[in-house]
Structure 1
Amino acid sequence: MRITTLAAAAAFAFAGSLALAAEPAQAIRQNLLALQPDMPIESIAESPVAGLYQVQLAGGRQLYASADGQFLLHGYLYQVQNGQAVNLTEQAQSKAIARQIEAIDRKDMVVFAPAEAKTHITVFTDTDCGYCQKLHSEVPELNRQGIEVRYLAFPRQGLGSHGAKTLASVWCAKDRQAAMNLAKARKDVPAASCDSPIAGQYQLGQMIGVQGTPAIVLADGQVIPGYQPAAQLAELALRAGK
């Protein structure tokens, strides 16, 4: 009887602790949704700082809040380790972005794969972008170094732009690689239409903070805004893929 009583008491205490743990998340969520009803909150959890909660938003963005949800922080949280400042916010954002990118089906990308891939990069691209065209000319060199190049569409001028129409024709082509090569060489791509993933990819790019092209996402979720020469990009990609 004593054991049963103790077990029941322990279970009650555990349930109580769960309820207390849930209260801050509920309060934070309610306050944030009162500020912005469509705020894309994915999760709320304790941060490494006592009394401070980490709010994970869609797209990898992070907010920090007090347990009652009345105080909010938007910025980087650093931890000093062995005399070095580690950006915990950036680490969390990269992990979230990597998860979202890896969830995309390869059939919805335009992929240039080497014989043996060591790692990959995912590039938000616009066929009308000069630096995107320059990066594309270096894809064979990236492939040679074992880096798979995966393209996602990001029409900089919006979904009604000339770039968006060209991207749709690329994604709807029977041979996407050949169509991408034509587009990046500033040649006409035969018009094609289908139920393409262009709009969803454009929205995803906006969610993770893409503002221009090319925007390069490494395997670990780190986002590189803008063109990088093949040698430099390969070094970053191989390091991120370890």
Structure 2
Amino acid sequence: MFSFPGLARALPLALSLSLFGAGAHADEASVRKGMEAFVGAPAVESVARTPYAGLYEVVLKSGELVYTDEKVSFIVDGRVIDAQTRRDMTQLRLNQLSAIDFSTLPLDQAIKHVKGNGKRVIATFEDPNCGYCKRLGKELAQMKDVTVYTFLYPILSPDSTTKSRDIWCAKDKAKAWSDWIVDAKVPATADCDTGVIDRNVALGQKLKINGTPTIFLSNGSRIGGYVPAAELEKAIGAIAAK
């Protein structure tokens, strides 16, 4: 993970101004080379020129997004706000970068919980010892007509792995998960093939999931962290409206 704690944290201004200078277009490969020389490692995932004052978007392999100029003479670690539309262009881009193809998720590795007609579908990656996952569980319990695929993703402690395995091996996985995450009923010890837990961890790492809960909507967009039911309903509704 690469971070830039000493750099500017925001850019809430009209970047159409020539604040950083325009100059000749740089080759994206040279920007990559300059950034990796600065970081001291082959850390760059992609480089692309933006329409804002000659800035280049640099996506790092850690998932971070920063900006620089054609000579890599400065690095901006913060937000680009379009002054005309007032839209946070950095957040929009991060949403695009973190989205997935929902259809590629191996849903057989998740606990399936159907409520009502189950027409609306979401997937979550959760650690059984995650406090915000427990809050999310109570919110999801209030929702209707939704199918939730829960990928057990134990990343917090060895006990998280133990609980995940016991829940996965339960006769009724959905009930065992709900009993624990909502009602704090410790899952009974059980034995079965728990290789799926390791596969979930590998999948989460591939998807760059660094915290729980992480929610994926049916269009592949990602929501990182806890959200109340009303906010989740709004997000799901926005997809249906499109």
Number of equivalent positions? 210
What amino acid maps onto 1:62 in structure 2?
Answer: L
Report the 3-state secondary structure (helix = DSSP H, G, I; strand = E; otherwise coil) of the residue aligned with 2:205.
helix
Distance across 2 between alignment mates of 1:60 and 1:137: 30
1:26 to 26, 29, 48: 29
Q: Which runs of 5+ in 2 are unaligned?
A: 1-23
CA displacement at 1:174 relative to structure 2: 6.8
Distance across 2 between alignment mates of 1:89 and 1:192: 45
1:153 aligns with 2:152: yes
Q: Is contact 1:109–1:152 with CA below 8 Å preserved after alignment?
A: yes
Report the 3-state secondary structure (helix = DSSP H, G, I; strand = E; otherwise coil) of the residue aligned with 2:97.
helix
Distance across 1 between alignment mates of 2:104 and 2:62: 13
Deviations 1:133-189 (A, max 9, x none): 3432443542x2x4332323343524xx20122224444667543442344242324
What amino acid maps onto 1:165 in structure 2?
Answer: T
What amino acid maps onto 2:225 in structure 1?
Answer: P
Closer, same or farther: CA 241–55 of 1 in aligned 2, 3 Å: farther
Distance across 2 between alignment mates of 1:30 and 1:173: 52
Deviations 1:116-144 (A, max 9, x none): 423x43333121234423432443542x2
Map 1:27-176 to 2 at 5 A: 27-34=30-37, 35-39=39-43, 41-58=44-61, 60-81=63-84, 84-99=85-100, 103-114=104-115, 115-118=117-120, 120-142=121-143, 144=144, 146-158=145-157, 161-171=158-168, 176=173
Deviations 1:73-123 (A, max 9, x none): 211111123xx41011101111221226664322233332453423x4333
What amino acid maps onto 1:194 in structure 2?
Answer: T
CA displacement at 1:58 relative to structure 2: 4.4
The structure with the larger Rg is 1
Closer, same or farther: CA 61–241 of 1 in aligned 2, 3 Å: farther
Q: Is contact 2:154–2:201 with CA below 8 Å preserved after alignment?
A: no
Distance across 2 between alignment mates of 1:147 and 1:58: 34
Distance across 1 between alignment mates of 2:124 and 2:173: 15
Q: CA RMSD in A?
A: 3.3
Task: State the identity %.
Answer: 21
TM-score with structure 1 setting the length: 0.68
Q: Is contact 2:122–2:148 with CA below 8 Å preserved after alignment?
A: yes
